[in-house]
Structures are given as C-alpha cells and as structure tokens.
Amino acid sequence: MSVPTPMEGHASDSARVYQTGGDQYIEEHVHHYAPGSAPLFGRQVVAPAASGRAAPDSVRLPLVGRAPGVLRDRTDVMERLRAVVAGPGGDIQVLHGMGGCGKTAVAHALFTEAVRDHGRVGLWVNASERVSLRAGMLAVAGDRGATGGELAAAAGGRRAAADLVWHYLDHSAQPWLLVLDNADDPAVLEEGAWLRASPSGTVLVTTRHATSPLWRAPAVSSHRIGVLPLEDATQVLCDLAPEAGTPESARKVARRLGCLPLALTLAGSHLSHQLLESWTMDEYDRRLGEESTALVDRGAPATGAGQSRRLVGRTWQLSLDTLAESGLPEATTLLRLLSFWAADPVPLSLLMPAAQGTVAGPGHLVRRCPPTGSSRPCARSWTTRWQSWSRRTGIAA
C-alpha cells in the first residue's frame, strides 16, 4: 500500500480537511443555518426577532461631537437655564436658532452642570426622527425603572409608549434633566404627545423651528440662540488654534465665516490639526475665497454619528430640504442666488424684474462676493441670508 504524500490543508469555521490513501468514497452532508437557528440536542432554537427600533447605546451621555472648551457669549441664557435647573422642576425650555449656532453646545454645557453641580440625572435623546425619539424615550423609561415586560408591550404597540415613559419620569426618585436634541420637526413631538412638563424634572429642547404652537404652551419658555459677536467669534478661533495667527488675522476669518459657531469650530479644528500643510490664519482666509464651505467642512472628523449636522454645507441643506417639503422649493433657488452677493441688504427692487419676467435672466443681479472677488457662494453671505430668512419663516437653517 502506497503512503500518501503529505499535503498542507486549512479549514475554517465548520469545515474539515481529510487525507487518505487508496480508493476511498466519502459522502458528507453539510447544512447551513442562520445564526441562532441551528438545532441543539434535537431542539430547535429560534433567535429573537430583530427589533425595528434600535435602542441608543446610552441616554446618560450627550450625543454631541466636539464640545467647546469655553462657551462664548452665552452668559445670559446660561444664567436663566441654571436658575431653572436649580428650581423644583416642571419647566420646558426651548433653544431655537439656525443650524450651527451652538444650540446643542449650550444644551451640553447645561447637561454637564446639572449632573455635576445639581445632582440631576441627565438624560439625552436624539429627537431628529420619530424612530430615534421613540427608541430613546423608551430607553429613558427603562433607565427610570420600567420593566422589560412593560417596555416590550410599549414597543409592540400593546401599551401607550409616551404614557409609560412619563409615568416613570413623573415618579422618578431623583430629579432629572431631559434633553430632546435636534427636534427640528415639532410634529414628531406632537404626534405621540412626547413633550410634557413634569414636577420631577426639566425638559430642554433644541430646534431650528422658532414658531411652533408647541412652544407657546404655558409651561414653555423659549430662548433664541444666534451667531456670536465678532470679538467672541475671534476668541473661538484663538482658543482652538492659538499658534495659527494673530487676533487680527483671526478676526478677518471670523468675519468671513459670519461668526457662525459651527463654522468657527470647524475652521479652528482644521488649523490646529494640520498634518501636511501649515496654513496660517491669513492663508486660510485667502483660501476661503476659493473653496468656501468645502474648505470649512474639512475640519470635521471623518466619521461619526450625526455627521450631517456637523458640516456647514450639510446643515444648511437640511433646512433647504425642509423648505422644499413645506411647499417652498423656489426658496432654494433664491437663497443660492443671494449667497453669491455680499452680506449687505439687497433691495427688493432688484429682484422684482426677474420675478415678473421682465428680464431674460438673473445675470444683471450677480455681484461678486467681496473682498476676494470670488464667484463662489461665501459663508458670511449664507449665514446672513439664513438669519433674515429664518426670522420671516420661523424655519432656521
């Protein structure tokens, strides 16, 4: 009998390697099962059904990107919010303003102080969509003592979910602060009766929508969050990139960026984390005239949850989408045209001929965005236009 020549073989998972000599006949039946469904000792094990609503990893931690080390020009609103958190509860506070103005940063600062200085239980829920709001609020109920059976009944539609959540919030043994972040569509809160006041804690809502009827309820107080004053905006850049240039250079960049906190944070992050380039503030200011929003967004992390809200270009697009869904698709075209102009007021008389069809096109309106002479939209013009538009429509960028 001949001896088989040794061979090397490799098997992974449930596979096997056979080696033999002579004539052999091997028959093997392999059955593939989905994970968790293979028979175990003659008994079929069925994997639990996947839930359509994934619970957040935590409701005790703020779901934010890079929080500012120092919160600039928010002293007045923070004092008002601190007084509310230190009080007995029963209040709903609403922070409204255009995207990128730092509403979430203010909420994060208050959340941190409430937990650290006032002994509050901090609870944070992403309220941007129905699915994330519902999953987050049920997780809040679980945190406050709801049983697995109660949560399963609410998730399966056998029990009113919002009633369950607020029952446990109302009967919480510890005072709490509940942040409902990015509630840009108030209908999401209204449809399920998710927004309620409770004697056991304080609710803080961040939203771009300034005029919702929900914010006019007796227990609700609203606070407008706007762009920063120029000196505070300059200091944000100096805080983040102190070696990149002088305060005067930082002031020029801040002015060009419209003093928008999100844009300032991204610009400062870009300047402080350069690997291949070593741009100064002056060089960054010059290049803003060439690339504008695309350059600013380079300061964002490459990955991460909620990435679209951490980009200047994308956070404005979210509001353009909202305007289109509200039956105002022409607003996108108009705002894009206006963004090519300087940030100064535009006389309505310039727009009327084009609106009435008395000119061939908008070419007579185009004016380059100073001081660089670029024909690209400038961030400062975008910011100024959005502020004016949001005051008229109640829908902030």
161-183 pLDDT, tens digit per residue, is 999 999 999 999 999 999 999 99
**Would you say the C-alpha torsion 340, 341, 345, 346 has a positive or negative sign?**
negative
The pLDDT value recorded for residue 5 is 57
* pLDDT band at residue 17 using 50, 70 and 90 as cut-offs: low
The pLDDT value recorded for residue 113 is 96
End-to-end CA distance of the chain: 83
The set of residues, in sequence order, having a beta carbon less than 8 Å from that of 204 and lying 6+ positions away, is: 81, 92, 93, 94, 95, 107, 110, 111, 177, 178, 179, 180
**Nearest alpha-carbon partner for 181 in 202, 208, 161, 201:** 208
The pLDDT value recorded for residue 103 is 95
Residue % of the chain over a pLDDT of 70: 67
The pLDDT value recorded for residue 312 is 61
CA-based Rg of the chain, rounded to a whole angstrom?
Answer: 28
* pLDDT band at residue 30 using 50, 70 and 90 as cut-offs: very low
The pLDDT value recorded for residue 10 is 55
Identity of the amino acid at 148: G
The set of residues, in sequence order, having a beta carbon less than 8 Å from that of 281 and lying 6+ positions away, is: 237, 241, 244, 245, 246, 249, 250, 252, 253, 271
Q: What is the DSSP string of 301-350?
A: -SS-TTGGGGSHHHHHHHHHHHHHHTT-THHHHHHHHHTTS-SS---HHH
Residue 182 falls in which region: left (phi positive, over 0), alpha (psi -120 to 50) or beta: left
- pLDDT higher than 70, residue 98: yes
Residue in the structure block whose two tokens are 């270009």: 313
Structure tokens belonging to residue 248: 């005067």
The top-scoring range by mean pLDDT among 25-34, 189-198, 327-336, 355-364 is 189-198
The pLDDT value recorded for residue 187 is 93
> Cβ distance 107 to 179 under 8 Å?
yes
The pTM is what?
Answer: 0.70
Residue 205 phi, psi dihedral angles, 5° rounding: -110, 135
- pLDDT higher than 60, residue 262: yes
Can you tell me the mean pLDDT for 239-250? 93
* pLDDT band at residue 271 using 50, 70 and 90 as cut-offs: confident
Lowest mean pLDDT among 6-15, 98-107, 213-222, 282-291: 6-15
Can you tell me the mean pLDDT for 10-20? 52
C-alpha distances (whole Å) from 88 to each of 165, 177, 196, 223 are: 20, 11, 16, 20
- pLDDT higher than 60, residue 23: no
The pLDDT value recorded for residue 349 is 76
75-89 pLDDT, tens digit per residue, is 999 999 999 999 988
- pLDDT higher than 60, residue 352: yes
Bridge partners (DSSP) listed for residue 39: 44
Sheet strands (E) in 136-261: 176-181, 201-207, 220-224
* pLDDT band at residue 128 using 50, 70 and 90 as cut-offs: very high
- Strands 39-40 and 43-44, by their bridges, are antiparallel
C-alpha distances (whole Å) from 187 to each of 135, 192, 305 are: 17, 9, 23
299-316 pLDDT, tens digit per residue, is 666 545 455 455 665 556
The pLDDT value recorded for residue 255 is 93
178-189 pLDDT, tens digit per residue, is 999 999 999 999
